[in-house]
A and B are shown apart, each in its own frame.
Chain A
Amino acid sequence: MTAQPIPAAPDLDLLPSDVETDLRRSVRAVLAKTCPTEALVALADGSDDVSGPAWSGLAHDLGLAALLVPEEHGGAGAGPREAAVVAEECGRACAPVPFLTSAVLATSLLVRLGAAESLARLAEGGTAALVVPAGTASAGSWARRTGVEVSGGRLAGEVRGVVGLPADLLLVPVHGPDGPALHLVPVDADGVAVSTHTSLDATRPVSDVRLDVEAGTPLATGDEVTAALDHALATAAGVLAAEQAGLAAWCLEQTVAHLSERRQFGRVVGGFQALKHRLADLYAEVGQASAVAAHAAAALAGESDVPVSVAVAQAFCSEVAVHAAEEAVQLHGGLGMTWESPVHLRLKRAKADHVLLGSPDAHRDALARLVDLAAPTPEAG
Chain B
Amino acid sequence: MSEQHRSDLEQRVTALLEAHDPATTDRAEFLRARWEAGLAWVHFPAGLGGLGLPRDLQAHVDDLLAAAGAPDNAPERNGIGLGMAAPTILAHGTPEQHERFLRPLWLGEEIWCQLFSEPGAGSDLAAVATRAVPDESTGEWVVNGQKVWTSSAHLADFAILVARTDPDVPKHGGLSYFLLGMREPGVEVRPLRQLTGEAEFNEVFLTDVRVPAAQLLGAVGEGWRIANTTLNSERVSIGGQAVPREAGMVGKVAQTWRAHPERRTHGAHRRLLDLWVQAEAARITGSRVRQQLAVGAPGPEGSATKLVFARLAQELSALEVELLGEDGLRYDDWTLSRPEKVDFTGRDAGYRYLRAKGNSIEGGTSEILRNIIAERVLGLPGEPRVDKDVAWKDLPR
Given A6-B246, A14-B287, A376-B269: A364 touches B304 (CB 8 Å cut-off): no
B binding-site residues for A, Cβ under 8 Å: 242, 244-246, 254, 257-259, 261-266, 269-270, 272-274, 276-278, 280-285, 287-288, 291-292, 295, 299-301, 304, 307-308, 367, 369-371, 373-375, 377-384
Majority secondary structure, B binding face: helix
A binding-site residues for B, Cβ under 8 Å: 1-2, 6-9, 11-15, 256, 259-260, 267-268, 270-271, 273, 276-277, 279-281, 283-284, 287-289, 291-292, 294-295, 308, 312, 315-316, 361, 364-365, 367-368, 371-377, 380-381
For the complex, what is the distance from the CA of A28 to the CA of B304, rounded to whole Å?
27
For the complex, what is the distance from the CA of A267 to the CA of B384, rounded to whole Å?
10
Whether the pair B380, A380 counts as a contact (CB closer than 8 A) is no
Given A260-B379, A373-B254: A280 touches B373 (CB 8 Å cut-off): yes
- Which one of B272, B284, B379 lies within 8 Å of A256 (CB-CB)? B379
Chain A residue contacts of B291, Cβ below 8 A: 13-15
Majority secondary structure, A binding face: helix
User: Which residue on chain B has the smallest CB distance to residue A314?
Assistant: B277
Chain A residue contacts of B382, Cβ below 8 A: 271
For the complex, what is the distance from the CA of A287 to the CA of B373, rounded to whole Å?
12
B296 to chain A, nearest CB (A): 11
| Residue from the set B266, B280, B282 with the largest chain A CB neighbour count within 10 Å | B280
| Residue from the set B262, B269, B273 with the largest chain A CB neighbour count within 10 Å | B273
Chain B residue contacts of A375, Cβ below 8 A: 264, 266, 269
For the complex, what is the distance from the CA of A97 to the CA of B135, rounded to whole Å?
76
Chain B residue contacts of A368, Cβ below 8 A: 269, 273
Given A8-B245, A273-B371, A276-B374: A376 touches B266 (CB 8 Å cut-off): yes
Chain B residue contacts of A361, Cβ below 8 A: 270
Whether the pair A9, B244 counts as a contact (CB closer than 8 A) is yes
Whether the pair B281, A288 counts as a contact (CB closer than 8 A) is yes
Whether the pair B373, A284 counts as a contact (CB closer than 8 A) is yes
Whether the pair B378, A283 counts as a contact (CB closer than 8 A) is yes
- Which one of B262, B308, B378 lies within 8 Å of A380 (CB-CB)? B262
Chain B residue contacts of A11, Cβ below 8 A: 242, 287
Whether the pair B381, A291 counts as a contact (CB closer than 8 A) is no
4 closest A-B pairs by beta carbon, nearest first, are A271-B381, A284-B304, A276-B374, A376-B264
Whether the pair A270, B381 counts as a contact (CB closer than 8 A) is yes
B253 to chain A, nearest CB (A): 10
User: Which residue on chain A has the smallest CB distance to residue B294?
Assistant: A15
For the complex, what is the distance from the CA of A13 to the CA of B273, rounded to whole Å?
25
For the complex, what is the distance from the CA of A55 to the CA of B170, rounded to whole Å?
60
For the complex, what is the distance from the CA of A273 to the CA of B266, rounded to whole Å?
37
For the complex, what is the distance from the CA of A279 to the CA of B371, rounded to whole Å?
10
- Which one of B281, B369, B373 lies within 8 Å of A291 (CB-CB)? B281
User: Which residue on chain A has the smallest CB distance to residue B382?
Assistant: A271
